[in-house]
Amino acid sequence: MKKTIKVVIEKSTYGYSAYMDDNTLSYGCIGEGKTVKETIQDFLDAYEDMKEYYESQNKPFEEVDFNFCYDTTSFLQHLSETFTLSGLSKITGINEKQLGHYVQGVNKPRPATAKKIQNKIKEYAKNIAAMSLL
């Protein structure tokens, strides 16, 4: 069974970056892009390049699966490109001003607050996914 590695996606000055949050492997990969989609693809390309390199050197390569996750600030920054802070406040139940501080990186939410944001966003997405239009 393959090991699952967490890959953290963060907002960067260029756009977004992604890196492996694991130091037990003999290799590491990063990705960058202007969008999250580009960043993930760049990361996956880097992984394939690393795999090919290891094979060319006759080195053992541990294949892994990935779980892409955001740090809370980057996730909110990404969402704020689509949703207003007012809308995010309605979805999450977090004060709009406080969300703004999280988006700007002025404050970091406590773990319980980050979990609340995650749960509310997932609940909202689940409700949207269950809808049908006529």
What is the pTM for the complete model shown?
0.75
The Cβ of residue 99 has, within 10 Å, a number of other Cβ atoms equal to 22
Tens digit of each residue's pLDDT (9 = 90 or more) over 19-33 = 998 778 999 999 999
DSSP string, 33-98: ESSHHHHHHHHHHHHHHHHHHHHHTT-----EEEEEEE-HHHHHHHHTTTS-HHHHHHHH---HHH
pLDDT of residue 41: 97
Mean pLDDT, residues 100-122 taken together: 92
Residue 45: pLDDT above 80?
Answer: yes
pLDDT digits (tens, 9 = 90+) for 83-107: 999 999 999 999 999 999 998 888 9
What is the model's pLDDT at position 112?
A: 94
